[in-house]
Amino acid sequence: MATDAQADQKARGERRWQDALRSGLRHLAAGLPDDAISVLDEANSLWPDHIPILQSLAAAHLRAGHASDALAVFANILATSPRDAEALHGKGLALHLLEDRENALNAFHCAVTAQPHAWRSLQSIADITPCEEERLDAIGRATTLLCHLCEDPAVQPILFVRCMNALLDAGRDEDAVGFVRQNFARFEDQSIAHACLARACYETGDFRAALEHRQDSLVFSAPSPAKISPRPPFKPDAAIAALLKVFALFQAGGVTPFLAAGTLLGFHRNGGPLVYDRDVDIGVLSSPGTAPDIYRILREDPGLMLARRARPNDRYFALDVDGTGVDVFIYEQRAGKLHCGLGSLPGDIAWRFSAFGLKKAVYGGRTWTVPDNPDRYLAETYGPGWRTPDRAFASVLSSPALFSTDPYARAYYALIRAETSRRIGDVEKARRLLQQSPLPVLLPQINEDTA
């Protein structure tokens, strides 16, 4: 029989590992995975091979970018619980980080076999499979599962946001609008529900409703939203590395890319990327009957990941290349002009330029492909004052090249961009962005006379 002292010692030991686990989870929630690892290692030493501790430790290694360490922890879990769907999913994520796509896909398939409701694993299959048929099937199956899960009265509110996004990923835009309207009261709060409805309405081409719901989302948000941390600073060296990587990929596929938009502006005016930029811009020319298959090139590369909503005939692709955002625009020939844009819906953000060819230019000691008349292209994009830096200029709002763009779509982007700037504390930029809106737009904590 255990003595009172032994029982007390056991209770203290349990409290220690429980406290360490809770502390690790708090560090993870705060975005501090390295701090989480140290306390979770302590919890694991107090209760070795306890599955909840190992799951949290593996997740912390993943978030810290320690793929090999995470893989080792997941292997430990699977050694005793080979059908643990969460561990199988984590194994797939770790393998993908290690650029082992074949085995990552196998791990995700095993997770779905072990747990038929593993919608996250289905979405991961869609993210990395080189097979288009499998990609579309996985997106559709994940969406169906999420819709079914949302029928449960006890489902967590966050799942409604996931389901709305999945419907959009599946191209079921009208269904997404109907889903949000039907389940409006079940979202976490009215602000989130209006924000989701705004995005869904935008994807259907109802830009006016999108703007109205986005403004409503701000009305119902906290009166003084907490200031968010700015995104990681834009790194010119990383931007150049991302450009070189995507240029090489396209060239290997028989496609000639060129510096476009803000990236060309920075290189042509300053010799390199703009230090205050958000991402890098790449253009590709497309002629009738000879459209480059950019979608296939991007989807088949194991080091890149397309948005789940991306489809073969899209004219714009957004990528993350080693932590740098890359926007790829396809410039299409129409009636002697070149057109590009963010989507195919009438009224969505689009630009029209004088036709141009391509030439070589040297910037920063490297040779790049650029429009054959870069001064004219930049003037059409940014206006005659393009040589003067203006960090608040937004081509989606004020470019002279904007063509057949709905004013409500432009106002929607003005509100989104201004909201982000205000929340990171850049109130002056928020004001400047609101001033570029073609319609009156109000943003909390910004003077109404700037709208």
**Helical segments of 205-272, H only:** 207-219, 236-252, 261-270
Whole-angstrom distance, CA of residue 97 vs CA of residue 109: 17
Task: Give me the residues of the chain with pLDDT under 50, please.
Answer: 1, 6-7, 10-11, 225-226, 447-451
Is residue 338 within 8 A of residue 353, CB to CB? The reply is yes
pLDDT of residue 234: 76
pLDDT digits (tens, 9 = 90+) for 23-52: 878 988 888 888 888 888 888 888 888 888
pLDDT of residue 175: 98
pLDDT of residue 445: 66
Kindly give, in sequence order, each residue whose CB lies less than 8 Å from that of residue 135, ignoring residues fewer than 6 positions away.
125, 126, 129, 299
pLDDT of residue 448: 45
Whole-angstrom distance, CA of residue 221 vs CA of residue 203: 23
Is residue 395 within 8 A of residue 384, CB to CB? The reply is no
- The pair of three-digit structure tokens given for residue 376, joined into one six-digit string: 């004219």
Q: How far is CA 312 from CA 92, 116, 136, 176, 362, in A?
A: 26, 29, 12, 22, 33
pLDDT of residue 442: 81
Kindly give, in sequence order, each residue whose CB lies less than 8 Å from that of residue 249, ignoring residues fewer than 6 positions away.
297, 298, 301, 304
Whole-angstrom distance, CA of residue 286 vs CA of residue 299: 19
Is residue 163 within 8 A of residue 150, CB to CB? The reply is yes
pLDDT of residue 308: 93
pLDDT of residue 7: 46
